[in-house]
Structure 1
């Protein structure tokens, strides 16, 4: 992350070198799994997160659909409407904000297919991050568990992101275990 401030001696101008950060961005697609087996699931990418990537993440990582989003199109009922080949044993609700990938036609258009395999989509009201529990996880990971702010390569940046999110996941799992034991 870029330095937002600096210090210098009185009368001297502070000069902060700036590196070109193109091609060195790491995006993270993640989900906070709630319930007795609370968990943090994420997937990082160096490219842009689009509707196809989100759909595959929901199908593979959250719904547990073998083969991911590709399986949704494999079978048809004769009317052209894709039918699921598989269904979750327990229903799954995915809470989404209004990020561009979440509201894209390529993702929202699969809502019926996802419902047939046991995955419901629930959209939060616009501009309401306080309702999205994972926002607290992102904030904590970013400001508490991500100690070094400068990295020389995308691989080092990705490793630091994974390390911060692993710490968050461990805290979430430990908290769930403590609640289960207390109950």
Structure 2
């Protein structure tokens, strides 16, 4: 049997022997990303990445500081200062992700609404076309993140940042077109 020189083939071994393929341990290289397209005059894509899990506390902090742009972090929800109020409302889409349905996040709905942040429940799963961020994730993952081999979590994180930075231009461009059309 001849090996085709133009294509990568499975590893060869002697007859009767098992081919051994080296496998790298991927433990510790997972990167989770929390992100959202921020709409308005300054439309942008904002995200935060972590090697840990995304929980409700991290989600609250992200919504408070990155999306709503309010000072003091999510701890300010305990006693919101008079300054912590948005001029324009900020609607945050949420689905059934564990951080979205956690008691700590759902229990803050009234406090968030009082300062201009309104959580909005997205339709049930299997409707990703109704969520703008799903299109961004799909495009970033399959078009802008082509190299999948990284040896450290930092390298994965840097590649994710590059992929998401490439997604920013269309978002900013669509906002500029909408404002110009208005």
Q: Provide the C-alpha distance between the structure 1 equivalents of 2:79 and 2:171, rounded to a whole number of angstroms.
A: 36
Deviations 1:109-161 (A, max 9, x none): 11110001100011112212221111010000000001211001111110000
Distance in 2 separating the partners of 1:58 and 1:9: 49
Q: Distance in 2 between matches of 1:152 and 1:23?
A: 10
- The 3-state SS of whatever aligns with 2:88 is coil
Q: Deviations over 1:89-122 (max 9, x none)?
A: 1111111111010000011011110001100011
User: Is 1:84–1:116's contact at 8 Å kept on the other side of the alignment?
Assistant: no
Q: How many residues align?
A: 171
TM-score when scaled to structure 1? 0.84
| Structure 1: unaligned runs, 5 residues or longer | 1-5, 76-82
- RMSD over aligned CA atoms reads 2.3
Alpha-carbon distance in 1 for matches of 2:78, 2:28:
33
Equivalent of 1:87, from 72, 85, 88? Answer: 85
State the 4+ residue runs in structure 1 displaced beyond 4 angstroms: 9-16
Give, in angstroms, the shift of residue 85 of structure 1.
Answer: 5.5
Instruction: Report the TM-score when normalising by structure 2.
Output: 0.84
Equivalent-residue separation in structure 2 for 1:123 and 1:132 (angstroms): 11
Residues 13, 19 of structure 2: 8 Å contact kept: no
Query: Shift of the alpha carbon at 1:24?
Result: 1.1
> For each residue in 1:53-110, what CA deviation from the matched residue of structure 2 results, as whole angstroms up to 9, or x when unmatched?
00010011111110111111136xxxxxxx8652101111111111010000011011
Corresponding position of 1:108: 106
Contact 1:72 1:85 in 2 (8 A): no
Name which one, 1 or 2, has greater alpha-carbon Rg. Answer: 2
| 1:177 equivalent in alignment to 2:176 | yes
Contact 1:91 1:118 in 2 (8 A): yes
* Aligned: 1:45 with 2:50: yes
1:34 counterpart (29, 39, 62): 39
